[in-house]
Amino acid sequence: MNRQLRHISIFCGILFLALLLRDNWLQYVKADQLDSSSLNRRVAIERYSHKRGDIIVNGKPITGSVKTDDLDLKYKTTWTDGAEWAPVTGYASQAFGSTGLENVDDDILTGSDDRLFRDRTLSMFTGEQQEGGSIVTTLNAAAQKAAFEGLGKKKGAVAAIDPTTGKILALASTPSYDPSSFAGMSNADGKAYNALKHGKDRPMLNRALKETYPPGSTFKLVTASAALESGKVTDVDAPTNSPLPYIMPGTTTPLNNEGNLPCENATLRVALEVSCNSVFGKLGADMGVKSMASEAEKFGFNNYVDTPVRAVASVFPTGINTSQTALSSIGQFDTAATPLQMAMVGAAIANDGKLMHPYMVDELRAPNLDVIDKTQPKEMSQPLTPEHAQELQSMMESVVQKGTGAMAQISGVTVGGKTGTAQHGENNSGLPYAWFVSYAKVSNSSPVAVAVVVEDGSANRNDISGGGLAAPIAKAVMQAVINSNK
């Protein structure tokens, strides 16, 4: 009898130990995973049982909260001009989760962040309803409006940066969507979300951060930087050793220019003004893939960027042959960039060679408006020396004054730019992408760097150009920033 009792006791002890182990596994090891699981309804109830904090632009909220008829999910998020701001805010949906800033700083907006513990505790004693904190962005409302309206019904994106700090001033993507249309739990919300998710033009794709394009001739800015930094070019106004036609190494294929351009032995300045493929392709091939990749990576290529919303990595290919390096050096082959990345290129050049880390959150605030975190500008890299950056600035300003970027000129403002028309598709069968990368400077005011890409499926192929489609949009954004700084 005693033996049987011992066996039962041991068996019960094992069961009790297994229960303890399982309980600790769930509470400590799996706690975070279970807490964030979409199947855990308590998370959603907690998130939407009180007012969500706001996202602020120029001192005004662009989001808000309204009461619902649901007993558990009492509040849902609203947006002012949602389609314009969706690339910045993302969405916060009771049914479909969150993206963008709404996701990255969800704990602040819901009030569950550990830094808001004091506010939560006080609300328990005072009986006041718990509220979320707020996100103060670096965005410029006038620049964002100019970017969104400039893109209009065209498919494309705009990124604008303050070169001296890295503050993101505009981040637009079209076609866009209104996050308010599926913020709740109704059947209508579900239908709206599914229609957007499966839309042929992918309106929920943030093209400014999450899509890469062949940058075309705008990448020649990086190639010019590499040529100056490596010592391959020591005088931007001296003839280069550039034959015409230029036959790519290891092939019988010439690297053609767009038209009858003065590219034979052209100076680096003239080559940038008229956008000589032959000059920049040969420079890239002569420097080699290692040198080109090294310079591209100093500008941010081959690495993701957290803004804090993560931008996908732009790409400069490695492990390629010399002719492929020539093509990559003019922004073709497998070279690919986000609009944010190309704005970073323009910003580094405008900031005398220093690249600041781009960011779009200036402050995080408690519900009582106390600042609980503030972003400090920080240097990301130094792709160029100040002397080389100033030479490249002079070249970019020549592009706008008498080259392909004339449509970006602003009276009384120093503007530098580079156009690009990038081929894509099998045998270049797709409609080209129109690019423009630029900066604007005025005395006693911060500069602005802008990158624009337009995928215009409705345009005639011969009418698509960076100077024709993208430059006017960049001009409007730069003008908006300059006017708002006065």
- The whole-number pLDDT of residue 270 equals 96
Is residue 452 within 8 A of residue 156, CB to CB? The reply is: yes
Q: How confident is the model at residue 22 (pLDDT cuts 50, 70, 90)?
A: confident
Q: Which residues contact 373 (CB under 8 A, 6 or more apart)?
A: 115, 363, 364
In this structure, of 4-13, 34-43, 100-109, 342-351, the range with the lowest mean pLDDT score is 34-43
- Tokens of residue 448, six digits: 């602005």
In this structure, of 6-10, 346-350, 481-485, the range with the lowest mean pLDDT score is 6-10
Is residue 284 within 8 A of residue 325, CB to CB? The reply is: yes
The 10s digit of each residue's pLDDT in 309-344 is: 999 999 999 999 999 999 999 999 999 999 999 999
Q: What is the mean pLDDT of residues 381-398?
A: 97
Give helix 277-287 / helix 289-298 axis angle, nearest 10°: 100
The answer on pLDDT for 8 being more than 60 is yes
Is residue 307 within 8 A of residue 360, CB to CB? The reply is: yes
Q: Peptide bond before 215: cis, by omega within 30 degrees of 0?
A: no
Q: How confident is the model at residue 127 (pLDDT cuts 50, 70, 90)?
A: low
Task: Report the SS3 class of residue 114.
Answer: helix
- The whole-number pLDDT of residue 360 equals 98
Is residue 304 within 8 A of residue 312, CB to CB? The reply is: yes
CA nearest to 251, candidates 330, 325, 329, 331 = 325
Taken as a whole, the chain contains a residue count of 486
Task: Report domain extents, the chain.
Answer: 210-361+377-484
Rg of the chain over all Cα atoms, to the nearest angstrom? 27
Q: How confident is the model at residue 462 (pLDDT cuts 50, 70, 90)?
A: very low
Q: How confident is the model at residue 460 (pLDDT cuts 50, 70, 90)?
A: very low
The answer on pLDDT for 459 being more than 50 is no
Q: How confident is the model at residue 117 (pLDDT cuts 50, 70, 90)?
A: low
Residue with tokens 């309803």: 129
DSSP codes, 246-295: PBPTTSS-B---SSS-S-TT-BHHHHHHHT-HHHHHHHHHHH-HHHHHHH
Q: Name the CATH architecture for the domain at 210-361+377-484.
A: 3-Layer(aba) Sandwich (3.40)
Q: Name the residue with higher pLDDT: 114 or 263.
A: 263
Q: What is the mean pLDDT of residues 288-298?
A: 97
The answer on pLDDT for 74 being more than 80 is no
Our CA dihedral for 359, 88, 306, 381, rounded to 10 degrees, sits at: -40
The answer on pLDDT for 479 being more than 70 is yes
- Tokens of residue 384, six digits: 């160029």
Mean of pLDDT over the chain: 88
State percent of the chain over pLDDT 90.
70
- The whole-number pLDDT of residue 125 equals 52
Strands 305-306 and 414-422: unpaired
- The whole-number pLDDT of residue 47 equals 64
Task: Report the SS3 class of residue 370.
Answer: coil
What is the value of pTM for the model shown? 0.88
The answer on pLDDT for 214 being more than 90 is yes
The CA distance from 247 to 278, in Å, is 9
The answer on pLDDT for 151 being more than 80 is yes
The CA distance from 362 to 140, in Å, is 12
- Active-site annotation, residues: 217
- The whole-number pLDDT of residue 456 equals 67
- Nearest 5 degrees, angle CA 447-CA 452-CA 453? 165
- Tokens of residue 410, six digits: 């602003």
The CA distance from 371 to 224, in Å, is 43
Strands 75-79 and 63-67: antiparallel
In this structure, of 182-191, 274-283, 358-367, 379-388, the range with the lowest mean pLDDT score is 182-191
The CA distance from 143 to 151, in Å, is 12
Q: What is the mean pLDDT of residues 303-310?
A: 96
In this structure, of 140-144, 335-339, 366-370, 391-395, the range with the lowest mean pLDDT score is 366-370
CB neighbour burial string for 119-147, b if at least 16 within 10 angstroms, e if fewer:
beeebeeeeeebbbbbbbbbbbbbbbbbb
